[in-house]
């Protein structure tokens, strides 16, 4: 199988090698604090072994920890309460570091090992940092993270527990992102910044393969996936999930693309608004769902193009709806997810009247509720 990076905007191709991040001609328009131009896509030629997931790093380089293959829940009580018999929950709260980000960190760590790279750095709102620190610990990598001081304490402590170097930023994620880029440019350390490193998108496609496989085995027959609800901030998870379904379509594993929904918080809805207007407009973010709070979605341009190509949709929910959905998932399904994840369930609840009654909808629950106890306490009216 032959792999390359390809620029979705101009079609230029590049080798997948250390030091290559963006498509340089397209990236010349980039400015701090804006969605990135020139984000590259992983592209391959050749035949995929049935049952395997095509990824640009060979299996022998992955570190020894169990990433992915997370459960797909059939939430009976939630289904009957919501009148949604086709609802499924994809549970990534049980990843090693407690979030979906492990799928990307796993691929980046394998890439580092393949190329003999000893250090990885990244900016994060919390989960990407704790994830890279976790996977890096198992892989024997030095990990340096740039984290806003306001990040939930559990995510910060995870970083320290896993033995990574924590650099706290007096500012938001957007400032952490730019500070980290300056650090990796100066030092030559491998950047795991979301979207900037194309592997962070490609690594996130694996869940699509698992969903299709598990829906098949759970009923013995191929089941079409009609809708997938993805909590969205920077737009890397949603783009990765779409990449996965694109591969599955190409491989003949599915007959058509599902409708992919970007679920966003009212206070951080840049991608949803751009899907509506065609343009990204700057607005400072404000939502308690910290993992999806971004001023400028770094992967916005890439994700928007993918959503448009496949007829994707967006749904915007309030912080109150997010907290209600969080409690609902906990109390009716037994699945305790952080607010950023619960956003996807809130989005499903809001969009449900427009979906077909028997249609299959998978809600991606991307992070553990234990990561942000303060918001969880607020949701149940408990003091903290
Ligand atoms: C990062 C994250 C998201 C959003 O992913 P993007 O790629 O930024 O859109 C959603 N939920 C959780 C728990 C996350 O950590």
Q: What was the pLDDT predicted at 224?
A: 86
Q: How far, in Å, are 21, 168, 179, 282, 335 from residue 172 at the CA level? A: 23, 10, 11, 15, 29
Q: DSSP string of 205-236?
A: GHHHHHHHHHHHHHHSS-----EEEEE-SSSH
Indicate the top mutation candidate among 174, 367, 370, 376 to test ligand 1's pocket, ranked by most ligand atoms within 8 A of CB.
367
* Separation of alpha carbons 113 and 82, rounded Å: 46
Residues ≥6 apart with Cβ < 8 Å to 43 = 3, 4, 5, 6, 13
Pair 240, 203: CB distance under 8 Å? yes
The partner residues of 268 in beta bridges, in order of sequence, read 265
Please return the burial class of 116, using the count of CB atoms within 10 Å of its CB with bins 0-12, 13-18 and 19+. exposed
Spacing, Cα 156 to ligand 1 middle (Å): 16
pLDDT by residue for the chain (384 residues), tens only, comes to 999 999 999 999 999 999 999 999 999 999 877 899 999 999 999 999 888 999 999 999 999 999 999 999 999 999 999 999 999 999 999 999 999 999 999 999 999 999 999 999 999 999 999 999 999 999 999 999 999 999 999 999 999 999 999 999 999 888 999 999 999 999 999 999 999 999 999 999 999 999 999 998 666 666 789 999 999 999 999 999 999 999 999 998 999 999 999 999 999 999 999 999 999 988 888 999 988 989 899 999 999 999 999 999 999 999 999 999 999 999 999 999 999 999 999 999 999 999 998 899 999 999 999 999 999 999 999 988
Q: What was the pLDDT predicted at 32?
A: 78
Q: What is the three-class DSSP state of 311?
A: coil
Q: What was the pLDDT predicted at 99?
A: 98
| 236 Cα nearest atom in ligand 1 | 7
Residues ≥6 apart with Cβ < 8 Å to 30 = 22, 36, 37, 38
Spacing, Cα 232 to ligand 1 middle (Å): 6
Whose alpha carbon is nearest atom 13 of ligand 1?
367
User: Is there an atom of ligand 1 within 6 Å of 268 CB?
Assistant: no
Domains of the chain: 72-97+201-379 (3.40.50.1100)
Place of tokens 């234990």: 370
Describe the crossing of helices 236-250 and 102-114 by its angle, rounded to 10 degrees. 80
Structure tokens at 313: 């949709």
User: Is there an atom of ligand 1 within 6 Å of 287 CB?
Assistant: no
pTM over 0.75: yes
Q: What was the pLDDT predicted at 44?
A: 97
| 234 Cα nearest atom in ligand 1 | 8
| 232 Cα nearest atom in ligand 1 | 9
Q: What is the three-class DSSP state of 344?
A: helix
User: Is there an atom of ligand 1 within 6 Å of 99 CB?
Assistant: yes
User: Is there an atom of ligand 1 within 6 Å of 292 CB?
Assistant: yes
Q: What was the pLDDT predicted at 221?
A: 63
Spacing, Cα 132 to ligand 1 middle (Å): 14
Structure tokens at 319: 């912080």
Query: For residue 240, what is the enclosing H or E element?
Result: helix 236-250
User: Is there an atom of ligand 1 within 6 Å of 232 CB?
Assistant: yes
**Cα 106–Cα 109–Cα 107 angle in degrees, nearest 5:** 40
Structure tokens at 360: 């299959």
């Amino acid at each position: 199988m032959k792999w390359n990076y390809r620029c979705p905007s101009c079609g230029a191709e590049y080798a997948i090698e250390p030091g290559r991040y963006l498509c340089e001609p397209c990236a010349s328009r980039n400015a701090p604090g804006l969605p990135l131009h020139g984000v590259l896509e992983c592209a391959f030629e050749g035949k995929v072994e049935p049952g395997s997931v095509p990824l640009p790093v060979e299996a022998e380089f992955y570190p020894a920890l169990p990433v992915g293959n997370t459960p797909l829940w059939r939430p009976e009580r939630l289904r009957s309460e919501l009148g949604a018999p086709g609802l499924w929950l994809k549970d990534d709260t049980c990843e090693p570091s407690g979030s979906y980000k492990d799928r990307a960190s796993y691929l980046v760590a394998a890439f580092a090992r393949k190329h003999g790279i000893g250090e990885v750095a990244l900016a994060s709102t919390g989960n990407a940092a704790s994830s890279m620190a976790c996977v890096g610990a198992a892989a024997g990598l030095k990990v340096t993270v740039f984290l806003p001081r306001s990040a939930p304490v559990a995510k910060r402590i995870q970083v320290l527990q896993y033995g990574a170097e924590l650099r706290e930023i007096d500012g938001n994620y957007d400032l952490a992102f730019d500070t980290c880029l300056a650090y990796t440019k100066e030092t030559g350390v491998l950047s795991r910044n979301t979207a900037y490193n194309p592997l962070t998108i490609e690594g996130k496609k694996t869940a699509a393969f698992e969903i299709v496989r598990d829906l098949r085995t759970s009923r013995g027959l191929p089941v079409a996936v009609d809708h997938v609800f993805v909590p969205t901030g920077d737009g890397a998870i949603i783009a990765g999930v779409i990449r996965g379904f694109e591969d599955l379509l190409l491989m003949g594993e599915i007959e058509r693309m599902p409708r992919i929904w970007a679920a966003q918080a009212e206070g951080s809805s840049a991608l949803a608004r751009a899907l509506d207007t065609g343009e990204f407009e700057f607005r400072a973010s404000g939502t308690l769902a910290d993992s999806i709070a971004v001023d400028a979605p770094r992967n916005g341009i890439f994700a928007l193009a993918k959503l448009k190509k496949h007829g994707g949709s967006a749904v915007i929910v309030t912080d109150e709806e997010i907290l209600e959905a969080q409690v609902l998932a906990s109390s009716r399904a037994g699945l305790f997810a952080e607010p950023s994840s619960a956003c996807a369930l809130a989005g499903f609840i809001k969009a449900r009247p427009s979906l077909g009654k028997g249609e299959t909808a998978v809600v991606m629950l991307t992070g553990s509720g234990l990561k942000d106890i303060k918001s969880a306490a607020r949701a149940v009216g408990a003091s903290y």
